Structure 1
Amino acid sequence: MNLLSKRIYLFYFSIVAIVISIILLVVPGLPLGIDFTSGSTITYRWEDKNPTQDQISESMEKAGFDTSIIQSMGNKEFFIRTSDLGLNGKEKIDDQLKDLIGELPVTLDVNTVGSSVAENTIRNSIIAVFIASLFVMLYIIYAFRNVEQAYLYAIAAIITLIHDVFVVMGLFILISLFVGSVVNSIFIVGILTVIGYSVNDTIVIFDRIRENLIINKSTEFINVVNMSVRESVTRSLGTSVTTSIVILSMLLFGGQSLRDFLIVLLLGVIIGTYSSIFVASNLLLTWRYGLRK
């Protein structure tokens, strides 16, 4: 079975996915949390009353916080993201909620992040992703030093990694429109985990290609790559399915605090498996033969 027989269509599919993801990054853009934008978040729970989002929004406006984002979390719990509360903003909000709804809610959590902290978070996140990518490239060049044009394997792995990160972010934006997910510090942890998972899957297939090149020296390169992908696909799919089942279980039955991280992780596992099989190996063949063979 030739898994790469339709590789030109897979190539174009991946390009379209990246382009759509880039467009989504521009409009509507990543839903940045207070870790990146500065501001405050409050989590409330009502014991008896069951207020609506409109009631809470009206209370926030009367308290002087017009640009608040309110998200229902179920069980009479609401998550509110707004501008910096300042010294007495929280008390004003509590008073307005009590007057309009008739019950003072229980405050489960309050967080405030200043603009300087948000700027540091953005800078450190960029540095972390860059350093991770750099070490990935250096490792692959070293590990495949005995293979002809080893740098091509490193470049292919980095392009695959970039593909995964962009597509995961694009899908995360779409999901956030429905579930209210935001980009925070743990999102960056998720992206770094996706990078590690993507590279791991890619190296497994590249390593099999390296072994088969040594064993089958007279076999054409395209056949060696296809053979290597066939030999690795069961392992890759098996690992991805079992990992996805665990992540789904945590996503369905775990708490809200890890939800965004788990969403990124699940998307990363799925996209990383696809890219390691159909993008990374495809890039090696494209450099050797072009798009037409």
Structure 2
Amino acid sequence: MDFVGKRNCFFIFSAILILVGVVSMSISPRFKVGIEFEGGSALSLTFAQAVDEDRLRSAMSDLGHGQAVVQRVGDTGVLIRTTTLEGPGNDGGVSERDAIEERLTEEFGTIEISELSAVSEAVAKETIRNAGIAVGVAALFIMIYISFAFRLMANSMRLGVAAIVAALHDVIITLGAFSILGKVVDLEVNAMFITGILTVVGYSVHDTIVVFDRIRENTARRVSRDMSTTINISIMETIGRSLTTSLTTLTVIVALLLMGGGTIESLLYTLLIGVIVGTYSSIAIASQLLLVWEERGMNPFRRREEAEA
């Protein structure tokens, strides 16, 4: 299969995916954000038996929390995310936490509130800032590592840039997918999502390095004097390994999602989307960028060829 010959089709397809995501992210609400990024409270409840989620949402709405997100955890567990719950106040009234417990006990029988967590708006903003810094620092060190690992090639920094561009491509598409899913099925962007994004970046770069390494080996073996042929052969030699690894990972992710996902649902969906897109980008984006640079007279393999001349 001629992957290199279809690079323009790959670029157009990626551009369409990114455009759809950007359009979704430009429409309010951009994302369905969790309390980690917006501030609020989370209640972890355990019921005596399985409860109907619609009835639970209705009960929360009666208490003034119509926007509450209800998420099933296992058979009898439920996680409720809502706005910050108020305390009893100076008048000695009932706290919102106690009011919720009383109302749900009347509706569903005995319940246990195993955890109540709250995040202020200030902490939420700090979390967003730290998440951005984490992704940026990870990208910088990945670029430095790849540049060092392929230092025998001319312009080795360009390989690092290609890998980061591919990873950025994966992150943007994943963000776009979450923006759409947040509007359709209330899928949240939360702390687990950030964990997933960092994992996706690492996964994408790892797949890209495998292809780059095979390109380097085939260049040293002089499989072909033509770079496009070398890249295409390298992709063909590594695609089986990449697909097998990705399918194995996806099987585990899907199995966990079918079991309910629970509090790591956002992480699982991030990995599901990211692994698929990351496998695609290592073949269709990162490797093709090297060829584009070659066609513009910037051959990343010239240093080795000159050294062997």
Kindly indicate whether the alpha-carbon contact (under 8 Å) linking 1:157 and 1:199 is maintained by their aligned counterparts in 2: yes
Q: What does 1:36-55 align with in structure 2 at a 5 Å threshold?
A: 36-47=37-48, 50-51=51-52, 53=54, 55=55
Q: For 1:13-49, what per-residue CA distance to the aligned partner results, in whole angstroms no more than 9, with x for missing partners?
A: 0111112122222324222100111101223344368
Offset of residue 85 of structure 1:
0.6
Specify the alignment match of 1:111 in structure 2: 117
- 1:286 aligns to 2:292 (yes or no): yes
Cα 1:213–1:49 change in 2 (3 A) is closer
Question: Which among 146, 155, 160 is matched to residue 152 of structure 2?
Answer: 146
- 1:96 aligns to 2:103 (yes or no): yes
Q: Which amino acid aligns with 2:60?
A: M
Q: Which amino acid aligns with 2:9?
A: Y
Specify the alignment match of 1:262 in structure 2: 268
Question: In structure 2, the residue corresponding to 1:122 is in which secondary structure?
Answer: helix
Cα 1:248–1:52 change in 2 (3 A) is closer
Provide the rounded CA distance (Å) in 1 between the counterparts of 2:53 and 2:247. 39
Q: Which region of structure 1 is more displaced relative to structure 2, 226-235 or 167-176?
A: 167-176
Kindly indicate whether the alpha-carbon contact (under 8 Å) linking 2:166 and 2:286 is maintained by their aligned counterparts in 1: yes
Question: In structure 2, the residue corresponding to 1:279 is in which secondary structure?
Answer: helix
Kindly indicate whether the alpha-carbon contact (under 8 Å) linking 2:53 and 2:70 is maintained by their aligned counterparts in 1: no
- 1:205 aligns to 2:211 (yes or no): yes
Identity percentage over the alignment? 38
Provide the rounded CA distance (Å) in 1 between the counterparts of 2:129 and 2:246. 32
Offset of residue 125 of structure 1:
0.6
Kindly indicate whether the alpha-carbon contact (under 8 Å) linking 1:35 and 1:113 is maintained by their aligned counterparts in 2: yes
Provide the rounded CA distance (Å) in 1 between the counterparts of 2:35 and 2:53. 24
Question: Which among 230, 235, 238 is matched to residue 229 of structure 1?
Answer: 235
Cα 1:48–1:288 change in 2 (3 A) is closer
Question: In structure 1, the residue corresponding to 2:271 is in which secondary structure?
Answer: helix
Q: For 1:228-270, what per-residue CA distance to the aligned partner results, in whole angstroms no more than 9, with x for missing partners?
A: 1111111111111122222222332365122221221122211
- 1:63 aligns to 2:63 (yes or no): yes
The normalised TM-score by structure 1 is 0.88
Question: In structure 1, the residue corresponding to 2:189 is in which secondary structure?
Answer: coil
- Coordinate RMSD, CA, aligned: 2.4
Q: For 1:155-192, what per-residue CA distance to the aligned partner results, in whole angstroms no more than 9, with x for missing partners?
A: 11111010011112222333444553312212111111
- 1:250 aligns to 2:256 (yes or no): yes
Ranges in structure 1 where 5+ consecutive residues have no aligned partner: none
Cα 1:123–1:247 change in 2 (3 A) is same
Provide the rounded CA distance (Å) in 1 between the counterparts of 2:86 and 2:184. 30
